[in-house]
Amino acid sequence: MRQLVVIGNGMVGHRLVEAVRDRDADGTRRIVVLGEEPRPAYDRVALSSYFDGAGEKALRLADLTVHDQVELRLGDPAAAIDRGARTVTTAAGERIGYDELVLATGSSAFVPPVPGHDLPGCHVYRTIDDLDAITATARDARAGVVIGGGLLGLEAANALRLLGVEPHVVELAPWLMPAQVDEGGGALLGRLVTETGVTVHAGTGVSAVEAGPDGRAARVRLGEQELEAGIVVFAVGIRPRDELARAAGLDLGPRGGVAVDPACRTGDPAIYAVGECASVEGTVYGLIAPGNAMAEVVADRLMGGRAAFTGADTSTKLKLLGVDVAGFGDAHARTEGALEVVLNDAPGRRYAKLVVSDDAATLLGGVLVGDASAYAGLRPLVGHALPGDPLDLIAPGRGDGGVGVGALPDDAQICSCNAVTKGALVEAVHEGACDVAALKDCTNAGTSCGSCVPMLKTLLADAGVEQSSALCEHFPHSRAELVEIVLSTGIATFSELIAGHGTGRGCDICRPAVASILASLGGGHILDGEQAALQDTNDHFLANIQRNGTYSVVPRIPGGEITPDRLIAIGEVARDFGLYTKITGGQRIDLLGARVEQLPKVWRRLVDAGFESGHAYGKALRTVKSCVGSTWCRYGVQDSVGLAVELELRYRGLRAPHKIKAGVSGCARECAEARGKDIGVIATDNGWNLYVGGNGGFRPRHAELLVSDVDHATLIRYIDRFLMFYVRTADRLQRTAAWIEGVDGGLEHVRSVVVEDSLGIAADLETAMARHIGGYADEWRGVLEDPDKLARFVSFANAPDAPDPTITFDTERDQPVPAGPVALGMPARPQHVEA
């Protein structure tokens, strides 16, 4: 048996081992992996999620040691290579023989030799240990400086922001992310990043890091300018880890890195190099996609193949500080004769540029900032003929607004991270891949950054493959089936459900969906125990997050009816906490601009005044809108206010697949606009008409008549059944309108179940609703009565009472509004198109 030694246990080294194992079905090689870090390989691309609560285990890649042929040695890196004896000596002094050796040592962070660069409090941003050190230093820092405004620098700035440090970013180039975006995109990116509370210093460099009285970093000097800096993070660039190769006498590239040929082989035929430590024809690639491509080449060569590395797609799509950014192909129009098609919609917070050939027939590259939704369709077209006018592909309102997978040639790369073409995916579908998970398994598409997954779904649909009803790749069941499982088994936690009926650890699709199911079926307070970790962003703090990082407070005002005392209480709270107030179309009052640490104080006042959560943040009943009805209106024929209040109090807190809105009109004049609601009730001389399945949004729909002229008790009974039937059977994030359309038989089937009890489940649905009503408790009152739940409402863990310094306000019409160019009172956003 031959022995392969891999030096390096990063993402590319890990990929190499998996690629060799996939090809070596007969087990002809024993593989020894030498890792410098004391922990198994983890996802460095997702490293910043460490600051969002992802633990080390969540970042880990698949366990290589499940294969008997793989030996993983951690914390004992290679110290020397003896090419003559074909051995590697580790730091602990052990000598390990090899038949083939692969260098996957990656890179190290470059730290410019400015005075003070090595002071305590100065860090780099590369490993989990680095992140732990940054976290420790940030506890005592008020402001911090990140040197470098590229991809990694902006991630570091966001990390400081999450740690409660006021971040500054210093970039030598005139704009942020100069390698990925052009000047126009960089200008918008800088503005959007600044709105998040990060101060940008572009077109300037660091001249020194200066110490304070304690000998630690305290200031960063930019020429004559001085910035406070209790922490400094260098994110300037990388340097290939080629010291082992250099000491072993291997050739290096002109800018460092181990020189390799297209087979990724060094001058020594037994030694290969992959990833950031390799120099291919003088180029060192600092992205995961080229590294993965090199790993596949080496794995093929080791098995006797003829694969060659001929370059790789260096396109990138990411979200930094909440801002979408993408660059692909020749983003800087360096190709001779290249033309640029630009849409610069600064008020609309979006910038798009396509680079095309001199005859405007071939796409060469592009830049997207603010809205990168077109990336999945455009990137595979690079080097191929455009399907039409390039401006139609980036300008809303022109053409079809995008590129379908059918327009792409077979050799277009759908997944650039793993170099998977449309042709390879189509072939996989023809060979039996019938869902996204199967395509991932057999092609590796969508297993790295995931940006191509929407295209995989489209490709399957275009191929006529019936899509699985599975909730996600972790559960083979639909949402409705999971509801039945929970009902029949009494399972009360996500961990129990996925252990018994799913696989893996879950994802951002199934975790909140299961949280909603458990809450719908009486699973306790949504912030209890494990439930809290499953929630969407808004449910984490029982409030809707706004664009400047503040939150909304929306107390329930059933039916829009409110006493003067309660109206005064809301006004006093808004005044005392400096909140923006607005009466909504749903007949309640929004209080906007509350910082996270203010939320419990605001709600304490409101709860004491008799208010409760309006569930504006949840997939639940929002409001029941009403007109004044027969109580006041000379046309009203029924008490619409009384019914609206009754319905809102009856269904408050009902968690559902999507938000639910209702309306009650006291006569056919329809002043409550009930037919635009999920539940619409309109008074008649003989009782009530019940309409279902209406909604506003992107596709407004009128509700359809379910029953007419029913009495009060019958109306309530049918609404109970309808809502619980919807809660149990709809897909995740499916409004009632789409649910009715998708039900086999449509509205007629829903009517047969709800009105005629065709399935014999009416009594069960009514019992379930009665159980919900009987078990209702105000979520915010539950928080205020529980110290453990209250502890989560802080901006910074190390300073619970401190406000977020990045949140600032302007004043318009005597009210606070988020600071920045996009604020209330702006004129309509015209589109400025340059072509």
Residue list, annotated binding site for [4Fe-4S] cluster: 627, 633, 667, 671
- Asked whether 240 and 257 are in contact (CB, 8 A), the reply is yes
- Asked whether 151 and 176 are in contact (CB, 8 A), the reply is no
Locate 727 and state its tokens. 């809660």
List Cβ neighbours of 95 (8 Å cut-off, separation of 6 or more).
Answer: 87, 88, 89
Residue set of the binding site: 627, 633, 667, 671
Strand spans (E) along 511-566:
551-553
Residue set of the binding site for siroheme: 671
Locate 643 and state its tokens. 């019914």
Residue whose token pair is 């340097």: 239
Q: What is the DSSP string of 557-591?
A: -GGG---HHHHHHHHHHHHHHT-EEEE-TTSSEEE
List Cβ neighbours of 117 (8 Å cut-off, separation of 6 or more).
Answer: 111, 209, 234
- Which uninterrupted H or E stretch holds 129? helix 128-138
DSSP, res 751:
H
CA dihedral 79, 81, 87, 89 (to 10 degrees): -10
Residue 458, SS3 per DSSP:
helix
As a whole number of angstroms, the distance between CA 189 and CA 585 comes to 34
- Asked whether 87 and 97 are in contact (CB, 8 A), the reply is yes
Q: How far is CA 635 from the centre of its chain?
A: 50
Tell me what percent of the chain is helix, strand and coil, each rounded to the nearest 5.
Answer: 30, 25, 45
For residues 726-744, one letter each, b for 16 or more C-beta atoms within 10 angstroms of the residue's C-beta and e for the rest, the string is bbbbbbbebbbbbbbeebe
As a whole number of angstroms, the distance between CA 354 and CA 339 comes to 8
Q: How far is CA 499 from the centre of its chain?
A: 25
Phi, psi values for residue 506, rounded to 5°? 95, 175
- Which uninterrupted H or E stretch holds 479? helix 479-489
What does the longest C-alpha to C-alpha distance in the chain come to? 102
Residue 817, SS3 per DSSP:
strand
